[in-house]
Structure formats: C-alpha cells, structure tokens
Structure 1
Amino acid sequence: MARMLSSHHVSKNIEFLTQDNVSSKSVARNVNVVNNRPLLVILTWLLSKRRHVMKFVNLYMEQGFDVAVVSLAPWQLMWPAKGSRLVAADLLTFLKQNENYQQILLHGFSVGGYMWGEALDLIQSDKEKYSSITDRIVGQVWDSIADVIEIPIGFPRAVFPKNMMLQSMLRKYIEYHMKTFHEQSTQYYIRSSQVFYTANVRVPALFFVSKTDPVGTVTSNMNLRDTWESLGVKTYVKIFEKSPHVAHYYIYPKEYVAELYAFLQKLNLIQNEEKIKARL
C-alpha cells in the first residue's frame, strides 16, 4: 500500500518530507511524531537534482523515517556569512523546534560535510541552546565527503561536469577567491573543517568512498576516520573500486544498500526487513 508523501518547504533550502498528513504550520512549530519515528537529515551535494536525492530519501522512508533535505546553492558556498551559515542556522532552528524526534540520523554528501561543520560551529558557540539537538543524533553517514582543500577541485566539477575548459577557469577563480576573500569565505571553510574533525557528536559513522574519486579522496577520508577513531567514534568504511564522486549508489546499488542497512541495523533503525530483502 503506497502511503501519501507530504512535502513542506521549511525554508528555501530545507524541504521536509513525511508520510503523514501534516500542515505546514505544524512543521514550522513542532511535528507530532507518530510511533517515535526517526528523522533523517540529508545534506545534499552541490547542484543535486531532486529526483536523484529522492532515491536516497526512499531508502529511508521504507524504514519509517521522516526526512529533512538540506541543499546549498553554489553562491551560498562561496559567501558563507550570507549563505551557508544562514542555512545551517535554519536547520538548527528546525531541529530545535521539532524535539519530538528523539532519534536523528545524518546522511551527508560531498559539501554536506562542510555544511554540517557550519552547523557544529554554531552549536559550539551556543552549547546551552543547542545541546538538545546533539543529544538526539544517533548516527552519521558520509558519502564522498570533501575536505576544504578539495573545494577548488570539486566545485568546478559540480558546476561544469562536462566542460574541462570551464572547470579549469572556475578552478582558477576559486583559488583566487579563497586567497582574496579570507575574511568573507575561507576562514569559514577552515573553521568548519576543524570543528568537523574534532567530532563533537561522537556517534557511530559510516563512510562511503571510492578509489577513483578526486574530490572526496580515500586519503582525506581515512585521515578523518583515524582522527575520529582516536576520539572514540565507532567508524565503518566502504571503499568502492571505481565510482565517480557521489555516484557510488548508482554504480554499486546492492553493495551500497547492504552496507547502509547493516549500519542502520547496528543502530536499531530497521523497521522493514522485507523492503531490504527486495533491494538486495
């Protein structure tokens, strides 16, 4: 039986999806959560298409999650003070208002790691206000996560996937941008990366990486994994042979799903075994 999907824009960058019929007013205030349903926060990649993101949303909705999809426009990444930081603040407001969700899972792609770093930075600056959020996070999944130093490589590829010449021009501009606008941009990238590395939220983490991904490299991901392990974060890693940036699920769907569901199983977040079997 197909359930109705109800979708609400919490802000320009945050879409909330649920299988219940809820009003937009209650989403802004506090969703009445049925059966202690968990909440997934998807931190999308740059210029992601909704139909691609929905493939991931469906994996989780089959297991009874409600979902908040957070996206970032290229200009918001370029100018964090007026862009990504405000999106991070909106996300925290939404999570704070909706305290009925006692279990929050993060699933971030590429620059989604940077986005979450911005949120962690805001959390650190007002621990009292936001502690109720971090206490409810139960796990984190990072797919093709890119570090600050990879912004000049990843950003142009996201914007001009098929045009090498434009990629090269944009890369030069971004390198210039990061040197020139340290106050307005680069200091935020560095800060986000530092906060992300210190793992303030020490819940189990699953990494999806590919040997051929030049943006979310195996090296930078394994450095992060080692740092987190040393801080007591339980980590799991799946390294694929050759899938492009944020495309591991498309190239290796069964392996991806098997790994993801094994992780959810460890967190006691599986509600529908039949749906899993159908996908494997």
Structure 2
Amino acid sequence: MFVKRLIQLVPTAARLNTPQGKAFKKALTPLMVLHSISPIGQTQNRSLTTKTLTKSIELLSNSNKEIKSTPGNPLQLVVPGGQYEERPLSILLCWLMSEKKHVMKYARFYLDQGFDVLTVRVTPWQLLWPVSGTQVVAKDLVNFMSHNGLYKPMMLHGFSVGGYLWGEALNLMEKDLDKYRPIIEGISGQIWDSVVDFEGIPTGMPKAVFPKNAVLRKTLEAYIKYHMAAFENTATKHYLRSSKCYHNSVVDAPALFLCSLDDPVGAVSGIKKVADNWELKGMKVYLKAWESSPHVSHLHHHPEEYNQEMKTFLEMLGLVSYPEKFLLKAVGRA
C-alpha cells in the first residue's frame, strides 16, 4: 500500500525511463525503510507524571497531580479541583529521530527547576509532506499554548529541524496576531541548538534516519533533492515560508544559539544570518560556536561549557530557581 500511494503522488514523468524516474526508483528502498520506522517508544518513569497528548506531543511534570484533558480536546488540560497553579513550561522541539532517553537529559534540567516540559517531535514522513505532517503538529502545538494559560512563563528550546517546526507555528500565529498575542508575549526566552534552515534538509534528514549506512544516506539525499524540486507546491514552498517566518520571527524574546563551525547540517553561516536579523530587530541575541562538535551533540562533546552557557542565559532571564540543581550530564548521542 505504501509503494502504491507513493507512486500515485509522483508525477508520471518521474516513473518513466528518465533520469528523474531512475532516481525515484533508486530511492524506493530507503523510503520504504523510512516509512517503516515507528515513533520512539515511550518509557515509564515513576518520578514523573507523563501525558501523551498526541502522537507527536507529550507533557512531562514533576507534579503529583493527574494530568487530564478536556473531553473532545486532548490539547486543553483540565486542572483537578478547578484551581490553576501557574507553572513555567519548557517546550523542547526535538531533533529528527530523537530518542527519549537523550531528550530527557535536557528535560531533566527544566523539571528540576520546577518547569513542566512539553516534548514535540516530527517524523521524517511528516517532514517530507508538511501539509499533512509538520503543519498538523505545529497547529497542535499552537493550540496547546493557546488553551493552557496556566503555563507562565514559557521557554523554547529547539534542536535542528525544530527550527523548521517553529517556523510553521510562527506562520500560523502571523495570520492572527491579536489572537496569539498572549503566546507571543508569554515566551521569555529561546535556545536554538544546531538549528537547520531549509538548505540543510537534504543532508540533515538522511544523517538522522540512516546514521550508520552511507549507501542509504546518499540515496535518500538524492531523493530528497528530487522531492524538493518536484513538489514545489506541496513541500518546498512551505519550507521556504517557514524559513522566512523564522528569520523574521514575531517572537522577540532573548535568544541563545548553540552551534559548531564544522557542522555541515546546522551551518554556522545560516545561523549567524538569523542571529544578525534578530539583532537588527532589537532582540538580545547570544551565539556560542564551538570549533568542532557534531550536529546536535554539543552537550556530549562540551558538557561543562554547554552547562555554563545555559545557566548564564537562564539566570539572565530569571528562570533558574535552584542553581545547585543545574547539572546536565553528557549523553552518548544527543
């Protein structure tokens, strides 16, 4: 069924004996593997209250109160007893193919500081088909932020393609600024780790999906380049629109960019361009670029400096309640 559906989505010319058609056929194998990848399984942690809101969004809390959703709307929470207790919220916009045990290294810091944590993920398939994929996740994220006014302040912490996802959310908010003004003003700070613009998608996705298989990486990269050229109206124009919204963000909260000079996916040149744009708007922007560090692995390779950059930034925002608990442990693969 998957191959049949895929073939229906591809123009007839690409299925003929042409260079495009041959590239498409060559890409079928990695795309079938791509489609077969299931979302990362969720592990149970007794110290946390965990609520899966959608297939892409999960809420973590140290509160011992049960998290319930409004009937008919899983994204609107019901507070037991009807009493709202304001809590800060960290929104982790995860990297592609992220594993929960690695994401928890970042979530744990915020949880220890009294935050609730919202983790948001997109799959490779959702990234390839944004209208029915990433844009749906972005809409769910914005709806959650709109319907839960008990979360104040909010902190963004995005990784890699999380920047693209946030660009889709910004696109939604730009269409009705009055409606979403509370969200925009409720964000106190933003951290962007190895953020990827649309130019990094062809190289970034294959490395995330097939980190140990060079042949499949190369084949998938060729297909994604073809995909972006062939599906201008259903994919590429949305990537470009998201990028424009991200570069011209309506959220003017202070921002910290974390990157490395030798990361070919989250290129420092593109990140600096965003940082410069934001500075011209009068935003407070900070950038830390390591000489050498793999994509989304800065915590693992530079744990002490990563800790200090986060600590300094969040203290400046007044969001570090318990400095003695500020300790992020290095991970095997971030």
TM interval, shorter chain, is over 0.9
Structure 2 residue aligned with 1:182: 232
| Conservation of the 8 A alpha-carbon contact between 2:67 and 2:77 | no
TM-superposed deviation, 1:25: 2.4
Local SS of the residue matching 2:151: coil
Structure 1 residue aligned with 2:47: 4
Structure 2 residue aligned with 1:24: 68
5 Å-filtered alignment, 1:143-222, equals 143-222=193-272
Amino acid at match of 1:269: L
Aligned residues: 278
Q: Residue 236 of structure 1 is aligned with which of 277, 286, 290?
A: 286
Separation in 2, partners of 1:207, 1:103: 20
| Conservation of the 8 A alpha-carbon contact between 1:146 and 1:217 | yes
TM-superposed deviation, 1:23: 2.7
| Conservation of the 8 A alpha-carbon contact between 1:107 and 1:141 | yes
Change in 2 beyond 3 A, CA 1:173/1:265: same
Deviates more, 1:177-186 or 1:18-27: 18-27
Structure 2 residue aligned with 1:82: 132
Amino acid at match of 2:120: V
TM-superposed deviation, 1:30: 4.5
1:236-259 Cα deviation digits (max 9, x unpaired) = 111112111000001111110110
Local SS of the residue matching 2:278: helix
Structure 2 residue aligned with 1:114: 164
| Conservation of the 8 A alpha-carbon contact between 1:63 and 1:271 | yes
1:143-180 Cα deviation digits (max 9, x unpaired) = 00011011101011111111111111111100000000
Separation in 2, partners of 1:265, 1:3: 29
Local SS of the residue matching 1:139: strand
Separation in 1, partners of 2:211, 2:61: 32
Local SS of the residue matching 2:199: helix
Change in 2 beyond 3 A, CA 1:277/1:244: closer
Separation in 1, partners of 2:220, 2:304: 35
Local SS of the residue matching 1:29: strand
Amino acid at match of 1:17: L
How does the TM-score come out when normalised to structure 1? Answer: 0.95
Amino acid at match of 1:184: T
TM-superposed deviation, 1:129: 2.4
Change in 2 beyond 3 A, CA 1:153/1:278: closer
| Conservation of the 8 A alpha-carbon contact between 2:67 and 2:78 | no
Structure 2 residue aligned with 1:61: 111
Amino acid at match of 2:279: E
TM-superposed deviation, 1:102: 2.0
Amino acid at match of 1:43: L
Separation in 2, partners of 1:277, 1:142: 19
Separation in 2, partners of 1:49, 1:85: 22
Separation in 1, partners of 2:245, 2:194: 18
Q: Residue 314 of structure 2 is aligned with which of 260, 264, 274?
A: 264
Indicate whether 1:138 and 2:188 are aligned: yes
Q: CA RMSD in A?
A: 1.8
Q: Residue 124 of structure 1 is aligned with which of 174, 183, 190?
A: 174
How does the TM-score come out when normalised to structure 2? Answer: 0.80
TM-superposed deviation, 1:201: 0.5
Deviates more, 1:187-196 or 1:234-243: 234-243
Separation in 1, partners of 2:134, 2:224: 16
Separation in 2, partners of 1:105, 1:88: 16
Amino acid at match of 2:67: S
Separation in 1, partners of 2:321, 2:157: 18
TM-superposed deviation, 1:197: 0.3
5 Å-filtered alignment, 1:32-51, equals 34=85, 36-51=86-101
Structure 2's unaligned 5+ residue stretches are 1-44
Structure 1 residue aligned with 2:26: none
Change in 2 beyond 3 A, CA 1:98/1:278: closer
Amino acid at match of 2:126: Q
TM-superposed deviation, 1:63: 1.1
TM-superposed deviation, 1:37: 2.2
